[in-house]
Structure formats: structure tokens, C-alpha cells
Structure 1
Amino acid sequence: MVLNRTISILQRTSVLFALMFFVFGCASYHDRITDYYKKVGAGDYVEAEKSLDKNALVKKDRNKLLYLMEKGRLAHLQGEYAKSNNYLNEADLLVEDAVKSVGDVAVGLFLNSMSQSYKSEEFEIFMLHYYKALNYLFLGETQEAVVEARRISLQNYAQGDKYKDKTTRYSKDAFSLILQGLIYEHAKNYNDAFIAYRNAVEVFKSAQGSYYGVSTPRALKMDLLRMAYNLGFTGELNAYQKEFNLKYNPKEESEGGDLVIFWENGMAPIKTEENIVFTLVKGEKGGLFFTNALGIMIPVSLNISGGTTLNDVHSLNIAYPKYIVQQPPYFKALAKSNDYNYSFELVEDIDALAVMTLKERAGKELGDILTRMAVKKAAEYALKAAAKSNGKDGEANAVLEGIGFGVQLFNMFSEKADTRNWQTLPAKVNYTRIPLKKGENVINVEMERPTGQRSTYSITVYGTGGVQFHNFATMR
């Protein structure tokens, strides 16, 4: 009687515990803060910030980096540039100190990666520098913006070292190098600007002209020619004019300087999860492998059998992250200034970066997930083996059997893909460079939706003879 009651209690408790995981764990990160995203997209930044601040999930310590990046983005959208950089600088420090603690590794190994501290996507780090640099520029803090530009070089070096000899990987960020060149040009540091533009061109050349969804912008080519001319690099100027099939005419330079406009269109793709079925099998030499219907075979280095056979191992349904791309609200834009039209060019495609970089690291992602599944199965098999032993204490074995049942359910419902990302980043960043006359300039940006509906965004800027910057976002 006591034995049956013990088993019954254990099983009911296990089911309740597993259902609790299912109810609170099946929703993605996006689903659980969707109210915040809707308000940001609608341009209701005050209410969006209230929604973010009262959200228990994003306020957890493991999500602190995401919280800081979102707060920084919100402040930037509201024109509070100093406040924005307070948040983004704190986020930057978290990125620099992103060292995996023993406890954090254990959480990822025994529970799921969603429960670990968020470390950020690689392209998110470059976008962090982008917003910090713009904040400094808008605050008139040119030297701080130059420091941020130099940090872009360090980040690109680190990225290159990470994927050394892997030309097909995201080893550099071309957009950040273009931004770096523009900042140097703004500071009249033409030699460094030339180097930055040249480095950006080389990134595109190494990728045969198209890098993660972006073709070499014509504006970048003209900027490189301009810097070569200003520095008196006649040989480089002639070589690049021939390579680009473009002619640089210094007479076209304007007395009022230039305005660089960054148009941030749409929102980053939603990160969700999909289920992939794998089966754990033994190889010819006794090694363990995870395999699926597509023929993927991933070896498992851990000995998880616990002295038992694998005859009772069924297919494993794992949760794997994936991105769902959202269509940007507009598909083209044209800037009109002083009776001239200026087209926007795509300079950063975060949709493509998110999808393609996840695909590039698919092997590592799957390896981490399957290793975690192997560890979980190890505990399950060990308890089953103990319950089936020939010990004299039948009640103790029954308790182990009940615990084993609970572990099996826990393994099933606690497995979860990491669906976190910096969701309010733009889907696409486009830019154009517009010559200014001295004094007041009114620029009208006409945008067109896929439906044909048009909208106009107006900018008033005063030409002072240097390079100025402006950015705006269209999310809905």
C-alpha cells in the first residue's frame, strides 16, 4: 500500500512539474515580450519602455544584456543620445566581460541554452557600435565617435581571428568599416578614412561583390575615390577608377558639405524554434551517434549508456532555433534635395546576417544541443538501470522508478531552443550621401510600400562644409 502510494505521488508530482515547464516554457522569447515589440513598432516609445520595465523575463539577470540594448535603442529613438549611450556602454562592458562561468555552463548542459546568460549575436555587437557612434556624433562629441570607430577595427580584428582561414564565415562586418570611414572623414582624418573605405571594398571583393545580402555600394566606391584624390594618391585613384568603371570629378563636391542618411527599415527577424528528430544509435565500434532522416551524423563523446543497452532508446525530438523574416514596411525610398534625386543603397542586411550566420554555426548548435540531450539521457538511463537491479529493497527501487519517470518528463519538457535576440534592430539599413548647399537644406525622403502607398519624411539640415549624419527608422 505504501509502495503504491509512493509511486503514485512521485508520478503525479513529476507530471505536474513537467506540465509547469510546458506551460511556461513553450512560449518563445518574442511571444513573452510581444507587447513591447508592438508598442515600439507603433512608435509609442513611452509606453514601450513601461512595458519593457515591467516584463519579468527581460529583467532577469541572464537577459541583462538584451535589456540594456533595448533600453539603449529606445532612448536613441527618442533622441536621448546621452541616456542611450549610458545603457549601450553598460551593455558593451557586458559583451567584453562575457566569460562563461562554471554555473552558466552547467545550466546550458543540464537544462537548456535559453536559461544561460545571453551573449549576443556577432552582428548585434557591430550594431551596438553603430548606435554608440551615432549617439556621440549627434551629441557633437567627435573624438568619442572616433574612439568608437577605432573600436570597430578591434572588433573586426577579433572577428577575423575567430574565423581565420574560413573565408565563408562572417569574419568582418563591411557596414561597420563604411561607418568607420565616414566617422574619420567627418573628423577630417582622411588617411584613416581611406584605409577604412579600402578595407570595406576588400571585404566585398573577397566575397565576389556580395557580402551577406549586400552588393558593393556605389557610394562606398565614390568615397574611396574621393579620399584617394584628397590624399594625392594618384596611382590608387587611377587603379580604382578603372576597377570600378567610375570617374571621380572633384568639381562636383559641394560647398555646404554632405549629409549621410541612414534609413533603418523594418525589424530584425523573429527568433523561434523548430523540432528536429534525431535517434541515438551505436556505431560499429561501440561509439554513440545522433542521426536523423537527412543523414546527419553527430558523434557523442560522452559515455551515456550507464552500463545499460540502448534497446529502449527512441527518437529524440530536439528544439532548434530558427529565424522568421518579417517583411519591412517599405521596399524603396528616394531622397529629394535642391532639385536632385538621390537613391538609397542597402548597406547592412540583418535579415540575411541572422539567417546565414545561424546556418554557418549549425554544426556547433546541434552539437551543443545533442550533448545536452546525451547528458539528460545519461541520468534517465542510470535511474532505469538502478530500478531494474536485483536489490532487496523493492520500495527503494520503486522510488527510483518514479524518479526516473519524472526525469524522463523533465527531459522532454525542459528542452528548449534559445529564441532570444535584439528584436528591435532594423531588418535593413540603407544609406545615401547628399551634397548640401551652404545654409538651410530641406530634404524630403519619399518611401513606397509594397501596396503602392507612399509616405514622406522631411529633414532640415544646415550645410556647414563638413560631413553630417542623420538616421531614421520605419518599423510599421
Structure 2
Amino acid sequence: MRIPTKIWFQSLSVGVFIFCLNSCGITYNDRSYEFQNEVYYRNFGKAATLIEDNKFLSIKRNRLLYLMEKGKVEHMNGNYKESNHLFEEAYILIDDRINTNAGQAVAAKLTNPMAAPYKGEDFEKVMIHYYMALNYFQLGMPNEALVEAKRINIKLLELNQKYKKNKNKYTEDAFAQILQGLLYEATGDINNAFIAYRNAEKLYAGNDNSYYGVQIPLQLQKDLVRTAKQLGFTQEYQTYSKQFNLTAEEITSHPAEAVIFWENGLGPAKDQTQITAVDGAFVAVDDAENSIFIPIPPGTNLGITSIAIPKYVQRESFYKGARLKFNNQQTNFQLVEDFYPIAKQTLHDRMLREAVDIALRLGAKKATSAGLGAIAKELLGDDAEGIVKAGADIAGAATEKADTRNWQTLPATISYARVPLTEKENNTFIIEKYGMATDSDTISIPYKKGLQLVSYFDVGKATMNYVKPQFKVQQDEVEKKAVTAKDSTSTQKIK
């Protein structure tokens, strides 16, 4: 029995609408829940396996997302070579400017942006180099680590130069300068360490001593004054000592030290806000500083149309802060990077640049609706035109969806602490964390002259009682540059 054409058209409209309602509300956060849950409980090996098995990440257009998620998990699992292999591929992919083919472009215009390849947010692109720097350093390759640390701000500048208008406000990263300073110190290059610390201080000073939600760290102040003194820069030493009100005892240098990075929580996840036309414009407001205004051309009849705008949702961390206890002393971890304000600003700037693309997507859907209505009128008569156009408008509204893909294994924050090491086999530190509960872990760091870097992760609630970093020393590399020989590089593997 042949189904009448009119009934077929109506059934198609309803079917598309139901399909869209069932599928279009799913975000990438939903699709990545399983492996994120394993990361939360520090089951990094299992998380890596789940990323491999994730069907959404196996799609070619999501290759960059796969590389970033897997690269970070391998880093946390201590597989530094594999992590860098993945991040290097991601770097090349970004550098080749991930292309969108014609089919993907059409699909993105008629449905939603998730049909196109994921190209990454600008702050995500530069964080690849942060983790590559840590990987190289912990593999005993400090020079390669330094190259990656330098690339962070260079890449930010390169990305911003290609935008003709609505450029990014996030163009430099103070933490990247601090990281450079630490890496220069680890290789015995105190002069360039001082320059890097000074560059970081200038970023804070130029923004009322607060840069993207982070107050100038006390440790940065100490490192700047200390390196000025080591270099014999009397004027700079006196200026900064007075500016920061630091005493000679507070900037004492030690023959062996460790800098411990504490990554806490999971970074913001993307969601969407879906709105309709109001008074001649689409307006989305998350807060006073992050609003999107897209005007609708006068006389434009958009029909039943909604617009989806991506937004970042902050994920609350289990711990609010942490401190190190050692040798009857204690020091607080100092916040050095907060990803939520950076993510919000980066997305806001991108959305302003892509306002035209959003309008084009709506126009394409409207044109499709009109085209289907015309076909229905020709086949079925005037009565069918309105029904089909309405169904197409409804389907267009239902498929309107923001791109909710983002690098979800990034931490919420990064903090750090610098501590001296005593000349004994192992130095024991208690990391006391506080927030929803108070927990503690113990780490043991062997004595080595020079500066060691250690990474420590608290994605969710602490589930282990003992973490023992393993270290690899590169004496020859350091001796080439240091006046006093320094052993550098450290590695921590959390299982």
C-alpha cells in the first residue's frame, strides 16, 4: 500500500523533530562521563582505555579532542613519552590548521557546529605545550622542556595575529613566564630566569596585581628578588625588595630545592544556552562581562528559530586549598593558574568573531525550510506548504545546538610551592588538603642538588595515602650552563 505524499511529508517532519529532541540535548560532557569518572578517582590507566573505546572520540572530526584527552591522561599516568607522542600529533594538527571539508561545512550550517572538525579553543592549544614541557623535563630533557614553555606565549601571539577584529584579550600567560623562569633555573641560567620572572611580574603589575583571577604569587616575588640578588643587580634587588617588603631571610637560596605543582579539580565543561529572538536581536547573558548580542536584520522573518550559544560551566573542586608540611614547617600552595576565567574570556572573544557564522547557520535553516515548503506546495497544494514549513522550522530549532566539545581533563587550577631539600636520602612532605573535607597524602623526594619539579594531582577526592616520585638526573646537561653544578629534573608517576 502506497503512503499518500501528504501523510509522508507530515510524518517526516514529526520524525525529524522527535529525533532531534532525543539526540540534540546530549553534550560532550555526557559523552565523556565514563572516562572522566575514572580520572576523578585516579584510575588513569582505565581512563586511557575508555578514551580509546569512546566512539565519539574515534570519529575523525574529533581527532584533536582525542589527542588532548589521551595525552593528558597518559601524562598523569607517568607515561611521558606516549603523552608527548600524542601532544606532538595534536600540535602538528593545529599547525596545519585543521580543515573542514565541504560536506562537513554544509552539515554544520544545516544542523549544528559539532558536525565540523573540532579545532580547539586558543587556551587549549597553548596548554599542549605546558604538558609537553613537563613531559620533557621529567624525561631528563630540560632544553626541550624550555622550548615548549617558550612556545606558550609565542603561540598565543600567533593565534591572535590572524584575527582581523574582536581579537583575544588573553594574549599572554603569566604562568608560562613563571614556568620558563623555573626551567631556566633548573639548567643554571639565572640571568634568563630573572628576565622570565620579571616578565611575569609585569603582567601582574599591568593588571592591578591580578591576572585572570590570580593574585601575584608570593613565590614569584621571592624568586624575582632572589635572582636579582644572585646576579648582583643591586638596583633591581633594592627596588623589588622594597616593593614586595621582603627580608633577606625570606629569599634565602638553597643548594637543593623542589617545586611541587598541585593540579586541583577538573576544569570547566561546556554547556549551552538556547534562546529565541527577542526585540530584533538574539541576546545571551551569563553575567555582566560575558554577553552576546547578535542583531537580526530588519524585516527578516525567522519563523520558529532558536540560537544556541556555548558557555562554560565551572565544576566545583573537592578541595579548596592545600599546604605542605615538612621539618616542623609548613607552606601554602599558591594559586598560579585558574582556567575558568581564561576559558570564559577566550570563548567570549571567539563568539563575537563568529556572530556572522551563527547568522549564516540560521539563514541556511530558514532557506531549507522555505525550499521544502515550495516543494510541498508544488506536490500537494497550498495547504501543505504551511504545514511543511512549520515542521522544517521546528526541526531547525531542534537541531540548533552549540558546540559543547572542550578539553575536559584539564585541571580547574594549578598551584605551586617551593621547598628546600635537606641532605639525606629522602625528604618527606605531607600534603594537607582542605575543603569539603581535610585529607592528607605523603610524598618522598630524594635529595639532589639543584631544582627539581614534581607534579601532583587531585582531580577529585584523594583516594591514596602514599605517593612516591621517581627521579632521573641529567647532571651533564646542567653542568654545561651552571656555575655551580645542579642536578635537575624529576618525575612522578601516580598509579
TM over 0.5, shorter chain: yes
The match for 1:333 is: 322
- Does 2:313 align with 1:342? no
The normalised TM-score by structure 1 is 0.86
The match for 1:381 is: 370
Counterparts of 1:227-266 in structure 2, within 5 Å, are 227-249=227-249, 252-255=252-255, 257-266=256-265
Aligned residue for 1:457, secondary structure, equals strand
Against the structure 1 CA distance between its residues 291 and 408, is the aligned structure 2 distance closer, same or farther, given a 3 Å change threshold? closer
The match for 2:393 is: 408
Q: Would you say the 8 A contact 2:263–2:412 is kept in 1?
A: yes
Aligned residue for 2:323, secondary structure, equals strand
CA distance in 2, matches of 1:353, 1:188: 32
Q: How much has 1:158 moved relative to structure 2?
A: 2.4
Against the structure 1 CA distance between its residues 23 and 227, is the aligned structure 2 distance closer, same or farther, given a 3 Å change threshold? same
The match for 1:298 is: 294
Q: Would you say the 8 A contact 1:279–1:316 is kept in 2?
A: no
Aligned residue for 2:435, secondary structure, equals coil
CA distance in 2, matches of 1:245, 1:139: 38
> Structure 2: where are the runs of 5+ without partners?
286-290, 461-495
Against the structure 1 CA distance between its residues 38 and 140, is the aligned structure 2 distance closer, same or farther, given a 3 Å change threshold? same
Q: How much has 1:367 moved relative to structure 2?
A: 4.4
CA distance in 1, matches of 2:168, 2:80: 36
Q: How much has 1:270 moved relative to structure 2?
A: 2.1
Counterparts of 1:55-74 in structure 2, within 5 Å, are 55-74=54-73
Which residue, 419, 423, 434 being the options, matches 1:438?
Answer: 423
CA distance in 2, matches of 1:279, 1:129: 43
CA distance in 1, matches of 2:165, 2:369: 41
The match for 1:420 is: 405
CA distance in 1, matches of 2:388, 2:197: 62
The match for 1:353 is: 342
Q: Aligned letter for 2:180?
A: Q
The match for 2:194 is: 194
Counterparts of 1:139-158 in structure 2, within 5 Å, are 139-158=139-158
Q: Would you say the 8 A contact 1:58–1:67 is kept in 2?
A: yes
CA distance in 1, matches of 2:31, 2:407: 14
Against the structure 1 CA distance between its residues 194 and 105, is the aligned structure 2 distance closer, same or farther, given a 3 Å change threshold? farther
Q: Which moved more, 1:435-444 or 1:141-150?
A: 435-444
- The sequence identity of aligned pairs, in percent, is 36
CA distance in 1, matches of 2:307, 2:251: 62
Which residue, 412, 422, 445 being the options, matches 1:461?
Answer: 445
Deviation sequence 1:109-151 (CA, Å, 0-9, x none): 3321122211112222232112111111111112211221232
Q: Which moved more, 1:73-82 or 1:238-247?
A: 238-247
Q: Aligned letter for 2:259?
A: V
Q: How much has 1:190 moved relative to structure 2?
A: 2.0
CA distance in 2, matches of 1:106, 1:200: 44
Total equivalences in the alignment:
454
Aligned residue for 1:58, secondary structure, equals helix
Q: Would you say the 8 A contact 1:258–1:435 is kept in 2?
A: yes
Q: How much has 1:408 moved relative to structure 2?
A: 2.4
CA distance in 2, matches of 1:378, 1:42: 49
Q: How much has 1:360 moved relative to structure 2?
A: 4.3
Against the structure 1 CA distance between its residues 221 and 461, is the aligned structure 2 distance closer, same or farther, given a 3 Å change threshold? same
Q: Would you say the 8 A contact 2:266–2:315 is kept in 1?
A: yes
Q: Aligned letter for 1:110?
A: L
Against the structure 1 CA distance between its residues 247 and 141, is the aligned structure 2 distance closer, same or farther, given a 3 Å change threshold? same
Deviation sequence 1:69-98 (CA, Å, 0-9, x none): 111111111111111111111111122222
Deviation sequence 1:190-239 (CA, Å, 0-9, x none): 22222211111111112111111100001111111222222222222222
Q: Would you say the 8 A contact 1:280–1:315 is kept in 2?
A: no
Q: How much has 1:30 moved relative to structure 2?
A: 0.7
CA distance in 2, matches of 1:427, 1:54: 25
Q: Would you say the 8 A contact 1:18–1:410 is kept in 2?
A: yes
The match for 2:174 is: 174
Q: CA RMSD, aligned part only?
A: 3.0
Which residue, 332, 353, 360 being the options, matches 1:371?
Answer: 360
CA distance in 1, matches of 2:108, 2:147: 36
Q: How much has 1:318 moved relative to structure 2?
A: 1.9
Q: Aligned letter for 1:242?
A: K
